[in-house]
Amino acid sequence: MNLILLEPDDYLSSSGTGSPSVVRLNDRRATHIRETLGAEPGAQLRVGHLNGLIGFGELLRDSDDGIELAVSCSEPPPPKLPLTVLLGLPRPKMLRRVLRTAAEIGITKLVLLNTWKVDKSYWQTPSLEENALRDFLREGLEQARDTVLPEVILARRFKPFVEDELPALLENSRGLVAHPGDHAPCPVALTESCTLAIGPEGGFTTYEFELLQKQGMVPVQIGARILRVETALPVLATRLFPS
């Protein structure tokens, strides 16, 4: 955890005059401050307001009620990648890693997409509940020192999403679909926004692949190796938008 993320309910006071506000933490963030950082009163910690600015928090006191910090945030978070990813819903055990990675590398929007090769039971996992999704994304933000949550869309019906909603995403955005085969290499260092489709384990079916292409998405490949979804996502994202 390289950043302590703060939410409105954490605040005990807010001056509005430029003076630091005070927050109290008594959850896993407090445990991290005590046990991992070993911070004591007077320590300066990196903090950020969720979906807001980044700054520092001075540890005021550590008591049975929790840890109190005087925080002041004035720095913008790192910029997001101009990237929307359509991703075949991963297995529940992989979903946490994928969401954390998406937040960590700065993806703006993530569409979790139903496809023929996605087991229908995956949609029943508690990991897709709003609070669980938020927790997984927070882990990525805390690692990357970012504060802005990616937008996550659950697309439970493939064809209606591709035909009715995908065209709007592709407006002013370059559409690419990563798919094994004799396709053009994935482009490098784009200067425009991009909408990228990545299939589930096993890839898109021929029907799904062709339907994506009908909407204007161009097939690309990254070589002979077939990568797991959790590996393909950061490889493709950092190829399209290297830091």
Beta bridge partners of 218: 176
In this predicted model, what pLDDT tens digit does every residue of 80-92 receive, in sequence order?
Answer: 999 999 999 999 9
Domains and CATH numbers, the chain: 4-75 (2.40.240.20), 81-240 (3.40.1280.10)
Is residue 19 scored above 70 in pLDDT?
A: no
Q: Would you say 176 and 217 are in contact if contact means Cβ atoms under 8 Å apart?
A: yes
Instruction: For residue 129, give Cα distances in angstroms to 13, 92, 135.
Output: 31, 12, 10
Confidence of residue 210 (pLDDT cuts 50, 70, 90): very high
Mean pLDDT in residue range 130-142: 97
Does position 11 have pLDDT exceeding 70, yes or no?
yes
DSSP, res 128: G
Whether the pTM exceeds 0.95: the reply is: no
Q: pLDDT for 55-87, tens place per residue? A: 999 999 999 999 999 999 999 999 999 999 999
- 110 burial (CB, 10 Å; 0-12 / 13-18 / 19+) is buried
Residue 17 has pLDDT above 60, yes or no: no
Higher pLDDT, 158 or 180: 158
On the CB side of 106, CA atoms within 13 Å amount to 15
Locate 76 and state its tokens: 């913008």
Instruction: Report, in angstroms and rounded to the nearest whole number, the Rg of the chain calculated over CA atoms.
Output: 20
